[in-house]
């Protein structure tokens, strides 16, 4: 059975959403997942493979920091300059795409 359009759309914009979150400040994986789950219903199994790919692509870097609860250190993600440039490009593409789709949807059937 084919994936729903909603799932396909989420997959298509997930990197842009993560980069946007990281542009606002460094974060650890579970925090990124939790925020995106609340806002767009993203599944937990998608965040860590995406983060590994983004790191391999040079869009993010990582570092360890002590957790506030005194537990094990957390791996934090930080957007790179390459990631910021990718985000600017992705946002421009998204704006153009969204405008084109909105124009099509506004046409009379």
Question: Ranked by mean pLDDT, which of 6-20, 45-59, 82-96 comes out on top?
Answer: 82-96
Task: Find, among 2, 61, 63, 75, the residue nearest to 33 by Cα.
Answer: 75
Per-residue pLDDT band at 2 (split at 50, 70, 90):
low
The CATH code of the domain that includes 56 is 1.10.10.10
Number of domains in the chain: 1
Query: 74: domain range?
Result: 5-106
Query: pLDDT for 45-83, tens place per residue?
Result: 788 899 999 999 999 999 999 887 778 899 999 999 999
Rounded Cα gap, residues 53 and 75, in angstroms: 15
pTM, rounded to two decimals = 0.85
């Amino acid at each position: 059975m084919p994936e729903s359009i909603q799932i396909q759309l989420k997959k298509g914009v997930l990197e842009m959403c993560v980069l946007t979150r990281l542009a606002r400040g460094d974060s650890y994986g579970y925090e990124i997942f939790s925020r995106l789950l609340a806002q767009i219903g993203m599944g937990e199994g998608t965040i860590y493979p995406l983060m590994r790919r983004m790191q391999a692509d040079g869009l993010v870097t990582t570092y360890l920091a002590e957790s506030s609860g005194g537990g094990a250190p957390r791996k934090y993600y930080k957007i790179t300059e390459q990631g910021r440039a990718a985000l600017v490009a992705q946002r421009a593409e998204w704006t153009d795409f969204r405008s084109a789709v909105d124009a099509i949807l506004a046409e009379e059937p």
